[in-house]
Each structure stands twice: as structure tokens, then as C-alpha cells.
Amino acid sequence: MATTIPLPTVAGFRRQRWLARFVRRYPMGVAGGVVIIVMAVTAALATWLAPSDPLRTDFLAMFVPPGANHLLGTDAFGRDVLSRVIFGARTALLVGFSASFGGATVGAIIGVISAYFGGTMDLIIQRLADILISFPIIILALVIVAILGSGAFNLIVAIALSFVPRIELVVRASALGIRRTAYVEAARAIGAGHWRIIFRHMVPNVVAPYLVMLTSFLGQAILLEASLSFLGLGVTEPTPAWGLMLSGAAVDFVQRAPWMAIFPGLAITFTVLAFNVLGDSLRDALDPRLRT
């Protein structure tokens, strides 16, 4: 009996061509993606990669400089800095992905609904968005987390709510043009309901700006998590988090043990830079106005 070999579909060829073109034209974006993948793998395998328990204290090994026993040194409680940096990647990704995905998704849906219905609903939503967007993200997140209280869940909610009005405005601008297209008018003419038109015909067509905003928000969310944790309004001790590590290394120990601040600071810098570079590359690749 002859065996049949499945042939690649047209969609598969298009995805491969798009990926090859992206790799060729945006090497910095690819490098950012590689850094993000390494970070995700490190966070997933933190239990096996970390040389010791990030919560275990050893008061006989406080402020040990980087060396053979502790590659990145120890902190004021004798905890291994490398282990805490590795486990801190989990906290950064958990808060970053949860807050970015939640805020971007809610904001995108609100933007599409506002563009589709228009009228008084659109007016009210846009005025609320204008009020919220007038505050810097860090200030808005700071106010929300101060009201809700510290903790990982409240931190995620605060950061997500800070992102909602920003992506709502971007997605609404795209959805306004989609609302007037022929296929939306045809769906309305054959009696399709409002929610079917919104989720079947409009939402899939705003995926490109949604993905670009989501990627750029990831870096901002990780930076916000570190900033709020540094101020004592994010995750709390003894949870390994890069912002908390910087807070513990502040002023009192920065001259005595600079490695306590250097290594978590580098982790934040490279992670945020990777997400920003990848987001810029995706924007250029997905926006037809920027293609050459």
C-alpha cells in the first residue's frame, strides 16, 4: 500500500516565508526573542537550575563576594544572589504576562465595542480613557496598588488597569476603519447580531495592533513590577523578585556589596530591552505602512 506524504498548505508556506523574512530583516528583534525564550526556559526550570534554595538564609555567609561557592555572591541574609535572580525571573514573567495580557485584552475588547456602537457609549468611554491616560503609567499603577494593597495579585490588577486606556485608544482607531468595511456591512445586512459582528469580524482584524501593544506592554509591566516592589508596594519578602533585590541593596549595602544591585539590575535591563526591541520589530513587520 502506497504511503501518502502530506504536503505543506498554502498557509504554512506563508507563515514560513513571513518568519524567514522577519529573521532576515529584523535581527535585533530575533535577538530579543532569543533572550525572552532563554528567560522563559530559565524561569520554568528554576528549581533545577538554581544552585541553592533562594529562601535559605546563612548568617555565616553574609556579603560573600562572587566566587566559586556563590557565582554572584550573597546578600545581607546570606542568600545566594544567583538563585534569587533565577527565581526572580518567574515573578517577573508571571506579573508581566498576566498584567499585559489582561490589560491588553480588556482594553482591546472595550476599544472594539466603543468603535462599533459609537454614540453616547463611545463618548463616555473616550472621556474616561482621556482622564486615565492623562496620568503617567507609574503614577496610575501606584495609586491603584496603594488602594488595593500589596501582593502579587493586586500588583497584576493595578498594572493591567493602567494599560487598559492606552490599548483601548489604539485598537479603537483601527476598529473605526473596520466598522465601515464591506464585509461588516454585509454581515449586518444578512441579520448578524452585534456581538457576532464584533467577535467574528472585527476582533480578528485588530490582532496586529493588539500583538504589538501586548509585546511592548510586557517590558513596561516587568519594569513597573520592579519599581513598585522596590517601593514596597509590590510583591513582599521573602519572594524572590528583582525589584525587592534592588530595594534590599539600596544605600545601606551598595558600597559594601555592589553585586547585590548590579546583577538584578542587569536582569531587568536586558529583559525590558529584549521585549522593547521585539515589540518594535513586530510593529514594523505587521504595519503595512512601514514595509519597504
Give the per-residue pLDDT at 101.
92
pLDDT of residue 98: 92
Per-residue pLDDT, 102 = 92
pLDDT at 249 (0 to 100) = 62
In three-state secondary structure terms, 292 is coil
Closest CA to 239 of 141, 142, 152: 152
Mean pLDDT of 68-77: 85
pLDDT, residue 251, reads 61
Cα atoms in the 13 Å half-sphere on the side-chain side of 173 = 8
Nearest to 209 by CA among 261, 141, 286: 286
pLDDT over 70 (residue 136): yes
CATH architecture for the domain at 90-290: Orthogonal Bundle (1.10)
Model pTM score: 0.81
pLDDT higher than threshold 60 for residue 8: no
Identity of the residue numbered 231: L
* Average pLDDT value for residue range 273-288: 80
Q: What is the mean pLDDT of residues 152-163?
A: 89
The predicted pLDDT at position 11 comes to 55
Distance, first Cα to last Cα, the chain: 50
Report cis status (omega within 30 of 0) of the bond before 8: no
